[in-house]
Amino acid sequence: MCISLPELPKRKGTMNNQQYLNTAKTAAQAGQRILKKYFRAPLTITVKDEQHYNIVTQADVECEEAIVECLQEVYPDHNILAEEHEYGKTGSPYTWIIDPLDGTTNFAHGIPAYSISIALAFHDDMVAGLVWDIEHNEMYTAVKGSGAWCNDVRLSVSSARTLPQCLFSTGFYYGRGEEMKKALKKIEQLLTLGIIDIRRFGSAALDLCMVASGRIDGYFEYMLNPWDFAAGKLIVEEAGGLVTDCEGENPGISPSYIVGTNGKIHGELLEILQ
Ligand code: IPD
Ligand code: CA
Ligand code: CA
Protein backbone atom coordinates (compact mmCIF):
# COMPACT_ATOMS: atom_id res chain seq x y z
CA MET A 1 0.00 0.00 0.00
CA CYS A 2 1.39 3.40 -0.97
CA ILE A 3 1.40 6.39 1.36
CA SER A 4 1.05 9.77 -0.36
CA LEU A 5 3.66 12.42 0.35
CA PRO A 6 3.01 16.12 0.78
CA GLU A 7 2.83 18.10 -2.49
CA LEU A 8 6.19 19.09 -4.00
CA PRO A 9 6.88 22.81 -4.22
CA LYS A 10 5.50 24.18 -7.50
CA ARG A 11 8.23 24.41 -10.15
CA LYS A 12 8.23 25.18 -13.84
CA GLY A 13 7.46 22.20 -16.14
CA THR A 14 4.34 20.67 -17.57
CA MET A 15 1.81 19.75 -14.92
CA ASN A 16 1.73 16.10 -16.01
CA ASN A 17 5.48 15.70 -15.72
CA GLN A 18 5.41 17.21 -12.20
CA GLN A 19 2.65 14.75 -11.30
CA TYR A 20 4.73 11.88 -12.66
CA LEU A 21 7.60 12.99 -10.44
CA ASN A 22 5.26 13.14 -7.42
CA THR A 23 4.18 9.56 -8.12
CA ALA A 24 7.82 8.48 -8.47
CA LYS A 25 8.52 10.09 -5.08
CA THR A 26 5.69 8.21 -3.43
CA ALA A 27 6.88 4.94 -4.97
CA ALA A 28 10.48 5.63 -3.88
CA GLN A 29 9.25 6.20 -0.32
CA ALA A 30 7.70 2.72 -0.32
CA GLY A 31 10.99 1.27 -1.62
CA GLN A 32 13.09 3.22 0.87
CA ARG A 33 11.27 1.65 3.83
CA ILE A 34 12.32 -1.78 2.57
CA LEU A 35 15.95 -0.83 1.94
CA LYS A 36 16.20 0.74 5.41
CA LYS A 37 14.85 -2.48 6.96
CA TYR A 38 17.56 -4.61 5.31
CA PHE A 39 20.58 -2.29 5.38
CA ARG A 40 23.24 -3.84 7.65
CA ALA A 41 20.80 -6.67 8.56
CA PRO A 42 21.22 -10.33 7.54
CA LEU A 43 20.61 -10.77 3.78
CA THR A 44 19.82 -13.71 1.55
CA ILE A 45 22.24 -13.42 -1.34
CA THR A 46 21.66 -15.07 -4.72
CA VAL A 47 24.21 -15.08 -7.51
CA LYS A 48 23.30 -13.82 -11.03
CA ASP A 49 24.67 -15.32 -14.29
CA GLU A 50 26.82 -17.78 -12.29
CA GLN A 51 29.22 -14.95 -11.34
CA HIS A 52 29.81 -14.96 -7.58
CA TYR A 53 30.45 -11.19 -7.63
CA ASN A 54 27.15 -10.38 -9.39
CA ILE A 55 24.52 -10.64 -6.68
CA VAL A 56 20.89 -9.94 -5.88
CA THR A 57 19.30 -9.83 -2.42
CA GLN A 58 15.75 -9.90 -1.07
CA ALA A 59 16.13 -6.13 -0.56
CA ASP A 60 16.49 -5.62 -4.36
CA VAL A 61 13.48 -7.82 -5.13
CA GLU A 62 11.11 -6.57 -2.41
CA CYS A 63 12.01 -2.96 -3.07
CA GLU A 64 11.22 -3.38 -6.77
CA GLU A 65 7.87 -5.02 -5.94
CA ALA A 66 6.91 -2.12 -3.66
CA ILE A 67 7.86 0.52 -6.25
CA VAL A 68 6.11 -1.24 -9.13
CA GLU A 69 2.93 -1.73 -7.07
CA CYS A 70 2.77 2.02 -6.39
CA LEU A 71 3.39 3.00 -10.01
CA GLN A 72 0.91 0.49 -11.42
CA GLU A 73 -1.75 1.62 -8.95
CA VAL A 74 -1.64 5.10 -10.52
CA TYR A 75 -0.60 4.32 -14.13
CA PRO A 76 -1.74 0.76 -14.94
CA ASP A 77 -1.28 1.30 -18.70
CA HIS A 78 2.36 2.40 -18.59
CA ASN A 79 5.22 -0.01 -19.40
CA ILE A 80 7.57 -1.09 -16.64
CA LEU A 81 11.27 -1.76 -17.36
CA ALA A 82 12.96 -2.82 -14.13
CA GLU A 83 16.03 -4.81 -13.17
CA GLU A 84 14.67 -7.78 -11.25
CA HIS A 85 11.56 -8.88 -13.24
CA GLU A 86 10.17 -8.72 -16.76
CA TYR A 87 6.77 -7.03 -17.04
CA GLY A 88 5.96 -7.29 -20.76
CA LYS A 89 4.82 -4.40 -22.96
CA THR A 90 1.51 -2.55 -22.74
CA GLY A 91 1.77 -0.56 -25.99
CA SER A 92 1.93 2.75 -24.08
CA PRO A 93 4.55 5.35 -25.20
CA TYR A 94 5.39 5.79 -21.48
CA THR A 95 7.92 3.52 -19.71
CA TRP A 96 8.90 3.61 -16.06
CA ILE A 97 12.56 2.59 -15.76
CA ILE A 98 13.48 1.36 -12.30
CA ASP A 99 16.61 0.29 -10.49
CA PRO A 100 15.27 -0.59 -7.02
CA LEU A 101 18.75 -0.77 -5.53
CA ASP A 102 21.66 0.71 -7.46
CA GLY A 103 24.83 -0.24 -5.62
CA THR A 104 23.89 -3.73 -4.43
CA THR A 105 27.53 -4.64 -3.74
CA ASN A 106 27.92 -1.59 -1.48
CA PHE A 107 24.59 -2.37 0.21
CA ALA A 108 25.53 -6.00 0.88
CA HIS A 109 28.82 -4.87 2.46
CA GLY A 110 27.16 -2.26 4.68
CA ILE A 111 28.71 0.61 2.69
CA PRO A 112 26.35 3.63 2.75
CA ALA A 113 26.51 4.39 -0.99
CA TYR A 114 23.44 3.05 -2.76
CA SER A 115 20.31 4.53 -4.31
CA ILE A 116 16.86 4.05 -5.74
CA SER A 117 16.53 5.21 -9.33
CA ILE A 118 13.18 5.81 -11.06
CA ALA A 119 12.70 7.51 -14.43
CA LEU A 120 9.79 7.97 -16.78
CA ALA A 121 10.51 7.89 -20.52
CA PHE A 122 8.16 9.10 -23.25
CA HIS A 123 9.33 6.93 -26.15
CA ASP A 124 13.15 7.37 -25.95
CA ASP A 125 13.26 10.61 -23.94
CA MET A 126 13.23 10.99 -20.19
CA VAL A 127 10.57 13.35 -18.86
CA ALA A 128 10.94 12.82 -15.09
CA GLY A 129 13.67 11.27 -12.96
CA LEU A 130 14.55 10.66 -9.34
CA VAL A 131 17.67 9.22 -7.69
CA TRP A 132 17.61 8.90 -3.91
CA ASP A 133 20.87 8.61 -1.96
CA ILE A 134 19.11 7.18 1.05
CA GLU A 135 21.91 7.14 3.60
CA HIS A 136 22.74 10.81 2.98
CA ASN A 137 19.09 11.80 2.61
CA GLU A 138 19.80 13.44 -0.73
CA MET A 139 17.00 13.13 -3.24
CA TYR A 140 17.98 14.20 -6.75
CA THR A 141 15.06 15.04 -9.02
CA ALA A 142 14.40 16.47 -12.46
CA VAL A 143 11.45 17.15 -14.70
CA LYS A 144 12.18 17.89 -18.35
CA GLY A 145 12.56 21.65 -18.85
CA SER A 146 12.51 22.62 -15.16
CA GLY A 147 16.05 22.09 -13.87
CA ALA A 148 17.65 19.51 -11.61
CA TRP A 149 17.46 19.55 -7.82
CA CYS A 150 19.05 17.92 -4.81
CA ASN A 151 16.36 18.23 -2.14
CA ASP A 152 15.60 21.97 -2.49
CA VAL A 153 18.93 23.05 -3.96
CA ARG A 154 19.11 23.68 -7.69
CA LEU A 155 21.98 21.83 -9.36
CA SER A 156 24.43 22.94 -11.96
CA VAL A 157 27.38 21.12 -13.48
CA SER A 158 31.01 22.12 -12.92
CA SER A 159 32.88 24.75 -14.93
CA ALA A 160 35.98 22.64 -15.77
CA ARG A 161 37.08 23.19 -19.38
CA THR A 162 40.26 21.15 -19.65
CA LEU A 163 41.05 17.56 -18.68
CA PRO A 164 43.73 18.45 -16.06
CA GLN A 165 40.97 20.31 -14.15
CA CYS A 166 38.79 17.19 -14.00
CA LEU A 167 37.87 14.64 -11.35
CA PHE A 168 36.15 11.65 -12.97
CA SER A 169 34.42 8.49 -11.84
CA THR A 170 33.85 5.18 -13.56
CA GLY A 171 32.42 1.72 -12.97
CA PHE A 172 33.01 -1.83 -14.15
CA TYR A 173 30.48 -3.91 -15.99
CA TYR A 174 29.86 -7.29 -14.29
CA GLY A 175 30.80 -9.04 -17.58
CA ARG A 176 34.50 -8.23 -16.98
CA GLY A 177 35.41 -9.04 -20.60
CA GLU A 178 36.63 -6.59 -23.20
CA GLU A 179 34.75 -3.70 -21.50
CA MET A 180 36.80 -4.20 -18.34
CA LYS A 181 40.11 -4.26 -20.23
CA LYS A 182 39.15 -1.13 -22.17
CA ALA A 183 38.10 0.72 -18.99
CA LEU A 184 41.41 -0.08 -17.27
CA LYS A 185 43.39 1.09 -20.30
CA LYS A 186 41.43 4.34 -20.47
CA ILE A 187 41.89 5.00 -16.74
CA GLU A 188 45.65 4.73 -17.22
CA GLN A 189 45.51 7.02 -20.26
CA LEU A 190 43.46 9.67 -18.41
CA LEU A 191 45.74 9.61 -15.35
CA THR A 192 48.76 9.95 -17.63
CA LEU A 193 47.14 12.99 -19.24
CA GLY A 194 47.12 14.60 -15.79
CA ILE A 195 43.47 14.52 -14.68
CA ILE A 196 42.99 15.23 -10.95
CA ASP A 197 41.95 11.64 -10.14
CA ILE A 198 39.38 8.94 -10.77
CA ARG A 199 36.80 7.43 -8.39
CA ARG A 200 34.76 4.20 -8.35
CA PHE A 201 31.76 4.85 -6.10
CA GLY A 202 29.65 1.77 -6.99
CA SER A 203 26.29 3.29 -7.95
CA ALA A 204 26.03 4.51 -11.53
CA ALA A 205 22.91 6.55 -10.73
CA LEU A 206 24.79 8.40 -7.97
CA ASP A 207 27.84 8.86 -10.22
CA LEU A 208 25.62 10.75 -12.68
CA CYS A 209 24.10 12.83 -9.85
CA MET A 210 27.61 13.77 -8.78
CA VAL A 211 28.21 15.09 -12.29
CA ALA A 212 24.92 17.01 -12.08
CA SER A 213 25.90 18.59 -8.76
CA GLY A 214 29.34 19.63 -10.04
CA ARG A 215 31.12 17.50 -7.41
CA ILE A 216 32.82 15.64 -10.25
CA ASP A 217 33.28 16.66 -13.87
CA GLY A 218 32.52 13.45 -15.71
CA TYR A 219 31.67 9.76 -15.49
CA PHE A 220 31.95 6.89 -17.95
CA GLU A 221 31.17 3.21 -17.97
CA TYR A 222 31.57 0.78 -20.86
CA MET A 223 28.22 -0.97 -20.44
CA LEU A 224 25.17 0.03 -18.44
CA ASN A 225 21.55 -1.02 -18.45
CA PRO A 226 18.84 1.62 -18.90
CA TRP A 227 17.79 1.36 -15.23
CA ASP A 228 21.35 2.35 -14.20
CA PHE A 229 21.42 5.61 -16.18
CA ALA A 230 17.85 6.69 -17.12
CA ALA A 231 17.05 9.00 -14.18
CA GLY A 232 20.64 10.22 -13.81
CA LYS A 233 20.75 11.17 -17.48
CA LEU A 234 17.83 13.58 -17.16
CA ILE A 235 19.25 15.00 -13.91
CA VAL A 236 22.63 15.71 -15.58
CA GLU A 237 20.99 17.28 -18.63
CA GLU A 238 18.71 19.47 -16.52
CA ALA A 239 21.80 20.61 -14.58
CA GLY A 240 23.38 21.77 -17.86
CA GLY A 241 25.47 18.69 -18.71
CA LEU A 242 25.45 16.00 -21.39
CA VAL A 243 24.94 12.23 -21.33
CA THR A 244 25.51 10.22 -24.51
CA ASP A 245 26.66 6.86 -25.82
CA CYS A 246 30.16 6.50 -27.32
CA GLU A 247 29.03 8.06 -30.60
CA GLY A 248 27.69 11.14 -28.85
CA GLU A 249 24.10 9.97 -29.44
CA ASN A 250 21.08 9.55 -27.15
CA PRO A 251 21.32 5.99 -25.72
CA GLY A 252 17.52 5.84 -25.48
CA ILE A 253 16.28 3.07 -23.23
CA SER A 254 18.66 0.30 -24.36
CA PRO A 255 21.85 -1.07 -22.77
CA SER A 256 24.65 1.30 -23.69
CA TYR A 257 28.13 2.61 -23.11
CA ILE A 258 27.55 5.86 -21.17
CA VAL A 259 29.52 9.11 -20.89
CA GLY A 260 28.12 11.89 -18.68
CA THR A 261 29.93 15.20 -18.30
CA ASN A 262 29.54 18.90 -17.61
CA GLY A 263 29.25 19.28 -21.42
CA LYS A 264 32.36 21.44 -21.74
CA ILE A 265 34.81 18.52 -21.84
CA HIS A 266 32.42 16.02 -23.45
CA GLY A 267 33.96 16.01 -26.94
CA GLU A 268 37.52 15.71 -25.63
CA LEU A 269 36.60 12.85 -23.28
CA LEU A 270 34.64 11.02 -25.99
CA GLU A 271 37.66 11.13 -28.29
CA ILE A 272 39.81 9.45 -25.63
CA LEU A 273 37.20 6.86 -24.67
CA GLN A 274 36.30 5.73 -28.20
C1 IPD B 1 25.74 -1.50 -10.71
C2 IPD B 1 26.26 -0.20 -10.16
C3 IPD B 1 27.74 -0.06 -10.44
C4 IPD B 1 28.04 -0.18 -11.91
C5 IPD B 1 27.49 -1.51 -12.46
C6 IPD B 1 25.99 -1.57 -12.19
P7 IPD B 1 23.68 -2.64 -9.39
O8 IPD B 1 24.35 -1.62 -10.49
O9 IPD B 1 25.60 0.88 -10.75
O10 IPD B 1 28.24 1.17 -10.01
O11 IPD B 1 29.43 -0.14 -12.09
O12 IPD B 1 27.73 -1.56 -13.85
O13 IPD B 1 25.48 -2.77 -12.71
O14 IPD B 1 24.01 -4.01 -9.86
O15 IPD B 1 24.29 -2.32 -8.09
O16 IPD B 1 22.26 -2.30 -9.51
CA1 CA C 1 22.23 -0.68 -11.21
CA1 CA D 1 20.17 -2.84 -9.02
Atom of ligand 1 nearest to the CA of 101: 16
pLDDT (tens digit per residue) in 27-40: 999 999 999 999 99
List where CATH 3.30.540.10 sits in the chain.
15-154
Give the Cα separation of 22 and 19 in Å (integer).
5
Confidence check: pLDDT of 64 > 70: yes
pLDDT at position 211:
99
Domain 15-154 grouped into CATH 3.30.540.10 = yes
Q: In one letter, which amino acid is 23? A: T
Which is nearest to 19 in space by CA: 146, 128, 136, 148?
128
Residue list, CB under 5 A from ion ligand 2: 99, 102, 228
Atom of ligand 1 nearest to the CA of 105: 15
How close is the Cα of 154 to the center of ligand 1, in Å?
A: 26
Atom of ligand 1 nearest to the CA of 201: 10
List where CATH 3.40.190.80 sits in the chain.
163-273
Give the Cα separation of 201 and 112 in Å (integer).
10
Around ligand 1, the residues with Cβ closer than 6 Å are: 99, 102-104, 171-174, 202-204, 221, 224, 228
Model pTM? 0.95
pLDDT (tens digit per residue) in 153-196: 999 999 999 999 999 999 998 888 888 899 999 999 999 999 99
Q: Which CATH architecture has domain 163-273?
A: 3-Layer(aba) Sandwich (3.40)
How close is the Cα of 172 to the center of ligand 1, in Å?
A: 8
Question: What average pLDDT is seen over the chain?
Answer: 94
Choosing from 102, 179, 182 the residue with most ligand 1 atoms within 8 A of its CB, the one to mutate for a pocket test is 102
Confidence check: pLDDT of 82 > 80: yes
pLDDT at position 169:
98
